[in-house]
Chain A
């Protein structure tokens, strides 16, 4: 009886060991890119990378730009808001939570909105509404755009590109925003930048992509 019990225990032990091995094996396979990423230098803040250091510093240091969160965008761009909720960008934080890297600044640079800037994402406690890659994640701070939209007399010439630092009028900067995070290592979601860029112009890119 005791022998049998022992055998069962040992079988369990072997099973546990093997499953452990397997799991380590599997996770090792998945995490290789993370390991490589963490081993490489910390990526540049996407906006800084896209705009160039000088323009970025001038804009951010002027104190005029502030991240507001996409619920403000929703007031006017409700369709886009719903569309983005179907999009992996708006779930980018989930993979960090799953792997336990949700507090790693290295990862948050690309997985949150505006991390690394003064008004951008800090953590889930303080800035819950800037988690994930939102509208402002690609277009830059949105407060100026909102002020413009509210103003009765809009002086467009005062704010180029609708008040965004990476607005639709400068696709060069926008595309650089894409490639800032979607490097060779993480270039999972697209193969043709221009095609993907055009798809993302639509209100609901995912639904149009899978139609």
Chain B
């Protein structure tokens, strides 16, 4: 597992980077989208609250006015004892006693008044709830038609203490005040009724929708999902259940994206379970959402491309590097191989060819010379009294002597000659294309070069001489050991003849 991760670290990192960026952009898109939705929902709520407050006002107008509030607001000096708004049949439309709204007023005085035993719009005294009050039934007319009656009673207990004071000036003054108030109320109620007959809630909703830029439809539905009021007249009376019921949220309606909200209990009044259904234009939202989605997608794609590019780059760089490294290594190996080859072919001490390479070269040169009928000579050089040098000056001195001698022989070497250390203090020189005469001259110069000056080792000066045996290729030679043996014989002869000299092998002698 770990090795897999190590091996594929870069792809893994890049892939996780792409995934990470994609996820982040997606998350961002989601959050923004939710924000937009929330914003739209809040807008809807705002619209709903403004509509509901408008409708509430509408209701206020409908119930003529908030009598409770009026009772609180109006200060007479006289206490309002009872205050009702009745329909012409006696149904209580509004009252300061909330629990009697909707019932029919059947007090004695009212029944008498409706029987026309008592006049409307005149003050009279009666006892209500054991309290002596001054009452009036004030009619509201629309045209000539009686549409409502205001029932107003005021507590006059302070005037009751003094007997027979019902018709005194203060009471009359109060009656004037009350009549003025009732006249004002009459005006406002007839106004309200006028507005009410003119205004239709559907028209109101329609005009609201028309005025607003984003709202497409407003409907009021009751708890049985029936559309009670709507800005769209075609929608009225429909029951929104089953397939008819729209889903909350985004809807494609008439080829336009719309957002649907249903706001519960937007009107607390009348304890109705009315709901407000709101269709708002969501095309702006769709635009924004598209943009957001595009941004998120392009971010992911850019991340992906970036990752691909990077991986490609890393791949190429890696390939290039490894190729260079390989070349470098190959070069190094070839150098090393050459060195090793050289090491295997040369003698460590003297730097001359070793015996194995010498023999190989000798074999090749021998064969070539024989095949093309060319000359070839072999020279065998041996240090004189090398054992004595070793014994006298030590092995280090012996090694130094060998090294110096080798260098001196190399100085006399021609380009095509092979010089090898055959063993111990014996050095062999192969001279291709060379006849005996030339070889002898070369041997002479070698001999002289070596003997010319002593070898210096530390403080010692060691005098060195060599013996050289030469042989050359002839027709009777079938293999190189034969010619080699002849050179060796010549060397032996040189040693025998007093050293520090050159001997040429003479075939007649043997």
Q: Which residues of A contact B (CB under 8 A)?
A: 69, 71, 74-75, 78, 81-82, 85-86, 124-125, 128-129
| A81 close to B158 (CB less than 8 A) | no
Partner of A78, one of B79, B129, B158, B161: B129
Given A75-B96, A129-B79, A129-B155; 9 other pairs, CB 8 A cutoff? A69-B79, A71-B155, A75-B71, A75-B97, A81-B129, A85-B131, A124-B161, A128-B157, A128-B161
Q: How far is the CA of A69 from the CA of B157 in the complex (A)?
A: 12
28 contacts between A and B (CB under 8 A): A69-B79, A71-B79, A71-B81, A71-B131, A71-B155, A74-B129, A75-B71, A75-B96, A75-B97, A78-B97, A78-B129, A81-B129, A82-B129, A82-B130, A85-B129, A85-B130, A85-B131, A86-B130, A124-B158, A124-B161, A125-B158, A128-B157, A128-B158, A128-B161, A129-B79, A129-B155, A129-B157, A129-B158
A-B pair number, CB within 8 angstroms: 28
Q: Which residues of B contact A125 (CB under 8 A)?
A: 158
Q: List B243-260 residues whose CB lies under 8 Å from chain A.
A: none
CB distance from A146 to the nearest CB of B (A): 10
Those of B289-341 within 8 Å (CB) of chain A: none
A69 to B78 CA separation, bound complex (whole angstroms): 13
Residues of the A chain whose Cβ atoms lie less than 8 Å from the Cβ of B131: 71, 85
Interface size counted on chain B using CB atoms at 8 A: 12
Dominant secondary structure at the B interface: mixed
Nearest A residue to B156, CB-CB: A128
* Nearest A residue (CB) for B81: A71
Question: When chains A and B are docked, how far (Å) is the Cα of A74 from the Cα of B71?
Answer: 13
- Residue of B with least CB distance to A150: B72
The secondary structure that dominates the A interface is helix
Q: Name the CB-closest residue of A to B72.
A: A150
Chain A residues in 8 Å Cβ range of B161: 124, 128
- Residues of B near A74 (CB, < 8 A) are 129
Interface string of B54-84 (1 = CB under 8 A from A): 0000000000000000010000000101000
Query: What distance in Å separates the Cβ of A124 from its nearest Cβ neighbour in chain B?
Result: 5
Question: How distant is the Cα of A74 from the Cα of B158 in the complex, in angstroms?
Answer: 18
Q: How far is the CA of A124 from the CA of B161 in the complex (A)?
A: 8
Closest Cβ neighbor of A85 among chain B residues: B130
Tell me the B234-292 residues at the A interface (CB within 8 Å).
Answer: none
CB B173 to nearest CB in A, in angstroms, measures 16
Query: Which B residue's beta carbon lies closest to that of A126?
Result: B158
Within 8 A of A (CB), among B435-492: none
Residues of B within 8 A of A69 (CB): 79
Q: Which residue of A lies closest to B161 (CB)?
A: A124
| Separation of A124 and B130 alpha carbons in the complex (Å) | 18
Report B-chain residues with C-beta under 8 Å of the C-beta of A75.
Answer: 71, 96-97
Residues of B within 8 A of A85 (CB): 129-131
Chain A: CB-nearest residue to B79 = A71
| 7 closest Cβ pairs, A-B complex | A128-B158, A85-B130, A124-B161, A82-B129, A128-B157, A71-B79, A71-B155
Residues of B within 8 A of A81 (CB): 129
- Residues of chain B from 115 to 168 with CB closer than 8 A to chain A in the complex: 129-131, 155, 157-158, 161
Tell me the complex Cα distance, A59–B265, Å.
41
C-alpha spacing A82/B129, complex, angstroms:
6
Q: Which B residues lie within 8 Å of A128 (CB)? A: 157-158, 161
Report the bound CA distance from A69 to B71 in whole Å. Answer: 15
Distance to closest chain A CB from B77 (angstroms): 12
- Chain A residues within an 8 Å CB radius of B129: 74, 78, 81-82, 85
B235 CB to closest chain A CB (Å) equals 34
Which chain B residues (74-123) contact chain A, with CB distance < 8 Å?
Answer: 79, 81, 96-97
In angstroms, Cα B71 to Cα A104, docked, is 35
- Min CB distance, B95 to chain A, in Å? 10
Shortest beta-carbon distance from B497 to chain A in Å: 144
- Measured in the bound complex, the distance between the Cα atoms of B81 and A69 in whole Å is 12
Kindly report which residue of chain B lies nearest to residue A124, judged by CB atoms.
B161
Which residue in chain B gives the minimum CB-CB distance to A97?
B161
Q: How far is the CA of A166 from the CA of B161 in the complex (A)?
A: 30
Q: How far is the CB of B103 from chain A (nearest CB, A)?
A: 14
- Kindly provide the distance from the CB of B18 to the nearest chain A CB, expressed in whole angstroms: 55
User: How close is B291's CB to chain A, nearest CB, in angstroms?
Assistant: 44
B contact residues around A86 at 8 Å (CB): 130
CB proximity of B271 to chain A, nearest CB, Å: 15
B96: chain A residues within 8 A (beta carbon): 75
Rounded to whole angstroms, the CA-CA distance of A110 and B240 in the bound complex is 66
Task: Find the B residue at minimum CB distance from A128.
Answer: B158
CA distance A78 to B161 in the complex (A): 24
